[in-house]
Structure 1
């Protein structure tokens, strides 16, 4: 059992804690059996006191929480209102942050530039389509399609007349 407790004393959580743990373990190992027992008894008593204080604080906190809830209920403050207020405050804090404002500025600028680029692309496409529509090739295609449409229409009349 003695080795198990000593092992727990040497579990490092960081390099500094590792050094401190090693020193504590070395000091503890240097104690006599009686001194180790006395130290463990002191720690057990202190642990019991601390746990009792924690339980007392939990009881007091629960009582205060109930009292605060009663007061909020009497004032008409609902959980939903508190949540809404918290969310609104969080959003306000974010919007007021310099990071958000810089990001918003960059996005706005990027959006304006993108709109400008798309506007010029759209304008260019419209101009090209207009040029194509007025070209001799397009007129020739329109004439061919129109002629084909008239031929199909005439053929359709002939087929109906025969039936």
Structure 2
């Protein structure tokens, strides 16, 4: 069984941490002046060692991070490529999840039922949409959207080139 007091000591606002702090303060107050000075000196030395270790670890981490970046650059792995792979993996994980598959199944069944109910209604709309699609204003909109798409596509490849 887990000791709840030790689990809460890391949270200074917890009651267990307050009790532990009070106990430590009482023990410290019971020490002689010489023992208090010795304890403070020990703590200061330990703090200096720990801070030095932290600086060393940060230096090593920065070095390893630079080395990893150099290797990625040599392998042709760019930030854009990593992001794309992460997004693709995320989508794959979602699609493989049971929740997604159940939802997809329910939506498919619901869609089939809805399609049969509204079949005649949608056929009327479909014919009206076909008429709209063949209209002059729709062709004008398609041309504008196509041109905008080409502009975005060209801009995207420039951005990818600059990122790489």
Q: Unaligned stretches of 5+ in structure 1? A: none
Partner SS state of residue 2, structure 1: coil
What is the number of residues matched between the two proteins? 162
Partner SS state of residue 140, structure 1: helix
Pick closer, same or farther for the CA change 1:110–1:152 going to 2, 3 Å.
closer
The answer for the alignment partner of 1:148 in structure 2 is 148
Q: Unaligned stretches of 5+ in structure 2? A: none
Higher alpha-carbon deviation: 116-125 or 10-19: 116-125
Pick closer, same or farther for the CA change 1:105–1:28 going to 2, 3 Å.
farther
The structure having more radius of gyration, on CA atoms, is: 1
CA RMSD of superposed structures (Å): 18.8
CA distance in 2, matches of 1:74, 1:51: 35
CA distance in 2, matches of 1:52, 1:155: 48
Pick closer, same or farther for the CA change 1:78–1:110 going to 2, 3 Å.
same
CA contact 2:8–2:14 (8 Å) conserved in 1:
no
Q: 1:17-75, CA deviations, whole angstroms, 9 ceiling, x for partnerless residues?
A: 23322222222222222222222221111111111111111111111111111111111
Pick closer, same or farther for the CA change 1:41–1:78 going to 2, 3 Å.
same
CA contact 1:28–1:36 (8 Å) conserved in 2:
yes
Pick closer, same or farther for the CA change 1:110–1:155 going to 2, 3 Å.
closer
Higher alpha-carbon deviation: 118-127 or 20-29: 118-127
CA contact 1:11–1:21 (8 Å) conserved in 2:
no
- Between 1 and 2, higher relative CO (CA 8 Å, sep ≥ 6) is seen in 2
Higher alpha-carbon deviation: 120-129 or 80-89: 120-129
Higher alpha-carbon deviation: 26-35 or 138-147: 138-147
Q: With structure 1 as the length reference, what TM-score do the two structures score?
A: 0.56
